[in-house]
């Protein structure tokens, strides 16, 4: 049975979700459960002079109040250990947790929070990226050199880490270019803004704690609890009920240890549910603001000969998982182009903003928006059509990329042609409308992942996986892979997932890894059971096991489907003897080799395993009197390897495009002079809704990719978010004749660019 011959995709979690019977973490209530509330700094940078919780602890109905004095004194976070569970001595952003309360009701918990005495001495606020890296700037972490820092992590002053990519001689090549174009683009920070605010419940049984939490990465959450509370991993169990979206905002370890510590101190289960304001200001996962300076040298025939770049990324107050961002951003500013001479410098900068982290395709939408806008500027400078310019310079099969990687069979050139043809590139459009084009790329991430499979005597299969379902359908797709290997229907496969006590370790729903890594493990574990079934069937049918085919619930001899035995009979037979079991772990593939390039601050991001490629074309209408831009259509083409689940794949494209439209036009964090967010709510922070959704036309370039995911698949979830903003930017520029250099490209910014251009023309 071919994977494409499977019945229409059926989500195992679908009925619970559409009927409302499914339980999310916030829906759960345990006997004796208390309510948790946090005391936040609500100042951007200050030294704590007095923190007194005695009055809060004395309030009837308050069971526990914790501060930094009540948990182990250690710093954590990957790569740069720069953070503590509760603020110690200094607070560095408004959402930093100063204290936590567990009380019998929300009202009493709020009363206790208000009773906490928090006094401080204000410190200078660091919010401007360029000022932060200048000599003499206030340091967000004056003791940075004393922190535990691992890996190749160059750091100095407010620079948390620094990466660069260099190949060839960019300076000499730039001097020989016919035309040199320089551009600056500035991207505001933005948020994941999932529908479900995070929620956590913790309950102790003896020396073991079970935590129900809305996380995308249960094993990371478990490891964070173990590290910060100094517990062995077998004493911490993480369970994820249904998850109401994440978009990267629920990656990493957040507040599970706070609630576990409260529950232990209170000797009762404790539950935390964030308000929408908290969801905006407290987590250490928001999309980083960036300043991007890029220069390209080009010949009159359109050949790119050199590119240089200087990037500043807003790390915020703590590092979370952002230490690989500088290298990621540098790769996206290089872009999927053949550039023989390149030098890009990228710095991750501490500020007193909320920490940045893995929001869908981190650094890619901003980097692609900047470099694809710049690419149109370069093409215009030599009077070349933007499509023709990209045709000439994009990477293709066998090409050498910007860091010396030679690409195996890839389909970016096909994506370019499919998307532009679908959009009608070159056709005349009404006044005020235009098409914009952008190409993008994103890597596939290999990681360790495991799966168990067992077939019961009734022929049903239980699939146990460490994968996490954040709404994309990737975990649900694992049933399709198992069913394909075993010759069963998807409904014959039961999933057990999102429980660290039941399943093997996995990376969780992050980095488009679910299908890529867990899918390989599921494929192998299911194949082990399939091989056992074939051995049993061979005895029944007096045939060679190699000649047995599993399909439609039957085991038959190849070429003679009538000579068969039901799989359920084989399963019943096995239940009386050797059980039908499978287990596997997905191997971690080595990254491709690089030649002729050097990378400073290498975080294993310069070489891309099974890179995904895309082309997006946006049709946009701009009202020049108001600056309002409306996206009418988006045409996409993606090379994501073999598409196993077309329904889910199209859904990911549509969701990624709509998220990209928000980033392009409306979504951006606004800060006051005090460094605090001014639009931390859904009324002020303008997400796109279904009413804003354009028609989206998607095509896939399916290229079997060996040594990647199951059936030759690559990742997919992040790639659709990469090129959308760049395509919209170029459409706005073509429709108006002016370039907007700050994202989001709000109506105010478009209008300002138009009026500024008009004043310059008049003068």
* CA–CA dist 141, 78 (Å, integer): 16
Rounded to whole angstroms, the maximal C-alpha distance in the chain is 92
pLDDT above 50 (res 358): yes
DSSP helix/strand/coil, 729 = helix
Identify the pLDDT of residue 454: 96
pLDDT band at 3 (very low <50, low <70, confident <90, very high): very low
In whole angstroms, how far apart are CA 469 and each of 56, 218, 439, 443? Answer: 39, 11, 28, 21
> 3-class SS at 678?
coil
Question: What is the CA angle 639-585-226, rounded to 5?
Answer: 105
Asked if residue 171 has pLDDT above 70, the reply is yes
The pLDDT, as a whole number, for residue 11 is 83
Residue whose C-alpha is closest to residue 181's, from 379, 343, 436, 393: 379
pLDDT, average across residues 32-52: 98
pLDDT at 507: 84
**β-strands 179-187, 742-743 pairing:** parallel
- Residue 505, Cβ density class (10 Å: 0-12 exposed, 13-18 middle, ≥19 buried): middle
Pair of tokens at residue 726:
């760049």
Tell me if 653 sits within 8 A of 698, measured CB to CB. yes
Residue 8's pLDDT is what? 61
Length of the chain: 763
For residue 610, CA distances in Å to 132, 359, 623, 703 come to 37, 21, 41, 11
191 and 284 Cβ atoms separated by less than 8 Å: no
Q: Is 763's pLDDT higher than 90?
A: no
Q: What is the pLDDT of residue 575?
A: 80
Residue 42 has pLDDT above 60, yes or no: yes
Residue-level pLDDT at 566: 96
Identify whether the C-beta of residue 649 lies closer than 8 Å to the C-beta of residue 640: yes
Averaged over 114-127, what is the pLDDT?
98
DSSP letter at 761? H
Architecture of domain 31-123: Alpha-Beta Complex (3.90)
Confidence category of residue 321, pLDDT binned at 50, 70, 90: confident
**By the 8 A CB rule, do 366 and 668 touch?**
no
- Average pLDDT, integer, range 79-96: 97
Mean pLDDT of 453-481: 92
458 is written with which tokens? 């009734």
In the chain, where the domains are located? 3-21+446-586, 31-123, 290-445+605-762
**Averaged over 465-484, what is the pLDDT?**
90
Q: Residue 562, Cβ neighbours under 10 Å: how many?
A: 7
pLDDT, tens digit, 9 for 90 and up, residues 495-542: 999 999 998 988 888 888 888 899 999 999 999 999 999 999 999 999
One-character DSSP codes across 613-681: EEEEEEEEEEETTTTEEEEEEEEEEEE-BS-S-HHHHHHHHHHHHHHHHHHHHT----B-TTS-BS--S
Taking the domain 3-21+446-586, which CATH number applies? 3.30.365.10
Task: For residues 360 and 301, give the distance between their C-alpha atoms in angstroms, rounded to a whole number.
Answer: 36
The model's confidence at residue 758, banded by pLDDT at 50, 70 and 90, is confident
- How confident is the model over 646-665, as pLDDT tens digits? 999 999 999 999 999 999 99
Question: Where is average pLDDT lowest: 216-230, 345-359, 398-412, 578-592?
Answer: 578-592
Evaluate whether 3-21+446-586 and 290-445+605-762 have a shared fold.
yes
Domain 290-445+605-762 top-level CATH class: alpha beta
3-state secondary structure of 660: helix
Pairwise CA distance, residues 605 & 336, whole Å? 14
Query: What's the mean per-residue pLDDT of the chain?
Result: 94
DSSP per residue, 577-593: SS-EEEEEEEPPPPPPP
Mean pLDDT score, 142-158? 92
Compute the distance between CA of residue 566 and CA of residue 554 in angstroms, rounded to an integer: 4
Both tokens of residue 315? 């790390």
What is the C-alpha separation between 317 and 286, in angstroms, rounded?
Answer: 12
Q: With 50 as the cut, is the pLDDT of residue 6 above it?
A: no
Question: What is the mean pLDDT of the segment spanning 226-242?
Answer: 97
Q: Is the dihedral of CA 563, 568, 574, 576 positive or negative?
A: negative
């Amino acid at each position: 049975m071919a994977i494409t011959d499977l019945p229409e995709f059926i989500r195992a979690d679908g009925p619970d979700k559409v009927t409302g019977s499914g339980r999310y973490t916030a829906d759960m209530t345990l006997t004796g459960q208390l309510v948790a509330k946090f005391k936040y700094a609500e100042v951007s940078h200050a030294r704590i002079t007095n923190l007194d919780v005695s009055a809060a602890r004395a309030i009837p109905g308050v069971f526990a109040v914790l501060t930094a004095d009540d948990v182990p004194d250690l710093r954590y976070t990957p790569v740069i250990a720069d953070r503590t569970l509760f603020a110690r001595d200094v607070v560095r952003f408004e959402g930093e947790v100063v204290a936590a309360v567990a009380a019998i009701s929300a009202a009493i918990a709020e009363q206790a929070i208000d009773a906490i005495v928090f006094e401080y001495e204000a410190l200078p606020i660091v919010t401007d990226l360029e000022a932060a890296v200048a000599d003499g700037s206030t340091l967000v972490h004056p003791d940075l050199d004393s922190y535990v820092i691992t890996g190749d992590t160059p750091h100095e002053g407010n620079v948390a880490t620094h990466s660069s990519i260099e190949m060839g001689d960019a300076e000499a090549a730039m001097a020989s270019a016919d035309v040199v174009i320089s551009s600056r683009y500035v991207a505001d920070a933005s948020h994941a803004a999932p529908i479900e605010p995070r929620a956590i419940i913790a309950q102790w049984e003896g020396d073991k704690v079970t935590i129900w939490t809305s996380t995308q990465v249960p094993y990371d959450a478990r490891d964070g609890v173990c590290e910060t509370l100094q517990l062995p991993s077998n004493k911490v169990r993480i369970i994820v009920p249904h998850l109401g979206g994440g978009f990267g905002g629920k990656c990493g370890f957040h507040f599970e240890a706070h609630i576990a510590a409260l529950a232990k101190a209170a000797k009762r289960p404790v539950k935390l549910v964030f308000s929408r304001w908290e969801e905006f200001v407290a987590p250490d996962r928001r999309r980083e603001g960036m300043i991007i300076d890029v220069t390209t040298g080009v010949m009159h025939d359109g050949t790119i000969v050199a590119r240089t770049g200087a990037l500043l990324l807003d790390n915020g107050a703590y590092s979370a998982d952002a230490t690989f961002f500088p290298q990621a951003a540098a790769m996206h500013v290089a872009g999927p182009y053949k550039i023989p001479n390149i030098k890009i410098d990228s710095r991750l900068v501490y500020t007193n903003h909320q920490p940045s982290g893995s929001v869908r395709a981190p650094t890619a939408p901003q980097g692609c928006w900047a470099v694809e806008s710049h690419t149109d500027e370069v093409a215009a400078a030599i009077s070349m059509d933007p499509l023709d310019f990209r045709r000439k310079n994009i990477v293709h099969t066998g090409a050498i990329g910007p860091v010396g990687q030679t690409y195996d069979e890839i389909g970016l050139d096909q994506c370019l042609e499919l998307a532009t043809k679908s959009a009608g590139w070159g056709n005349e459009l009404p006044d005020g409308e235009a098409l914009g084009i952008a190409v993008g790329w994103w890597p596939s991430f290999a990681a360790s992942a495991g799966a168990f499979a067992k077939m019961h005597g009734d022929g049903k299969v239980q699939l146990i996986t460490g994968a996490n379902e954040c709404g994309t359908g990737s975990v649900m797709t694992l049933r399709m892979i198992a069913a394909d290997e075993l010759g069963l229907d998807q409904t014959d496969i039961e999933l057990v997932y999102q429980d660290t006590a039941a399943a093997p370790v996995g990376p969780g729903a992050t980095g488009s890894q679910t299908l890529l890594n867990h899918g390989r493990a599921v494929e192998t574990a299911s194949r082990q059971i399939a091989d056992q079934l074939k051995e049993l069937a061979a005895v029944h049918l007096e045939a060679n096991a190699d000649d047995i085919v599993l399909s439609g619930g039957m085991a038959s001899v190849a070429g003679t489907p009538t000579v068969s035995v039901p799989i359920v009979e084989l399963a019943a037979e096995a239940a009386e003897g050797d059980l039908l079991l499978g287990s596997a772990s997905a191997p971690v593939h080595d990254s491709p080799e690089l030649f002729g390039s050097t990378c400073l601050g290498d975080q294993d991001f310069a070489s891309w395993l099974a890179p995904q490629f895309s082309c997006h074309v946006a049709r946009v209408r701009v009202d020049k009197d108001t600056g309002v831009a409306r996206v009418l259509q988006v045409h996409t083409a993606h090379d994501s390897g073999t598409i196993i689940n077309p329904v889910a794949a199209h859904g990911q494209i549509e969701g990624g495009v709509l998220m990209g439209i928000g980033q392009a036009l409306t979504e951006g964090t606004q800060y006051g002079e005090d460094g605090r967010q001014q639009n931390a709510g859904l009324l002020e922070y303008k997400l796109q809704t279904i009413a804003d959704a354009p028609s989206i036309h998607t095509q896939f370039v399916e290229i079997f990719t060996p040594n990647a995911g199951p059936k030759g698949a690559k990742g997919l979830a992040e790639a659709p978010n990469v090129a959308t903003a760049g395509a919209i930017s170029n459409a706005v520029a073509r429709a108006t004749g002016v370039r907007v250099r700050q994202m989001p490209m709000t109506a105010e910014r478009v209008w300002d660019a138009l009026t500024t251009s008009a004043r310059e023309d008049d003068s």
